Amino acid sequence: MPQPFDQSTYQVRLEWGTAGLARLAPADIVVVVDVLRFSSTVTDAAATGRAVPLADALTWSRNGAAVAAAAASGDATVLVGSLRNAAAVARAVLEIQNRRQARTSVAVIAAGELTDDGDLRFAVEDLLGAGTIIAALSDLGADHTSPEAAAACESARGLRRAMRHLLTASGSGKEIAAGVDTTAQIEATGLVPTAPAAAAEVDATDAVPILEGAAFVPFV
């Protein structure tokens, strides 16, 4: 039986973090959105053809990588989405739907920011990333969205011209600019961390990471 917060009657859904993923009805596709910096960095790695082991990502991302790991424990196809590849993610979702030859449900999970106390903090960059992906899905005809997804979509549409300012001026952007341990942790795995200004570039790449086995690889 549908539950009040599972968004099961909608094709495109939105929730926050691993707890939000668990609240939603199971979806055919889970799109993980952690703009600063898991999603953007893994997307840029995929653009070069590089595979990123999930185990490596878990050493430097306790938000997006944790959501991906939780999603992988089920039957969903797991994609990584960001502002940089929003339109490409929407096209990948429709391609997967075409291959399945069936209506395909999509859970867009904004990772948010886990505090040291274990609380989930709202992250404006993830709202905008998720909303931009949902808007791209809507533009391609996947517009049966939950109220939560629709609100994120329209927020992103209205603020699209301000993405660079919003990301660099956000709490996460300021934290990265001041210096964080994850920068060195990302570099230690051989990846180049995507800077907040670059993470704000909408549709900068067609690369879409997909979790296959134990690694994120380019979707083809």
Q: How do residues 27-62 score in pLDDT, each as one tens digit?
A: 999 999 999 999 999 999 999 999 999 999 999 998
Instruction: Give the rounded percent of residues in the chain with a pLDDT score beyond 90.
Output: 95
Q: How do residues 124-177 score in pLDDT, each as one tens digit?
A: 999 999 999 999 999 999 999 999 999 999 999 999 999 999 999 999 999 999
Strand extents, DSSP E, 4-149: 12-16, 29-33, 52-53, 77-81, 106-110, 113-114, 120-121
Q: What pLDDT is stored for residue 114 in this prediction?
A: 85
Question: Using 50, 70 and 90 to split pLDDT, how confident is the model at 5?
Answer: very high
Q: What are 179's two structure tokens?
A: 């210096």
The tally of CA atoms less than 13 A away on the side-chain side of residue 152 is 31
Q: What are 176's two structure tokens?
A: 């990265």
Average pLDDT, the chain: 96
Strand extents, DSSP E, 5-112: 12-16, 29-33, 52-53, 77-81, 106-110
Question: Does position 1 have pLDDT exceeding 80, yes or no?
Answer: no
pTM (predicted TM-score): 0.97
Q: What pLDDT is stored for residue 115 in this prediction?
A: 84
Q: What pLDDT is stored for residue 2 in this prediction?
A: 81
Q: How do residues 67-87 score in pLDDT, each as one tens digit?
A: 999 999 999 999 999 999 999
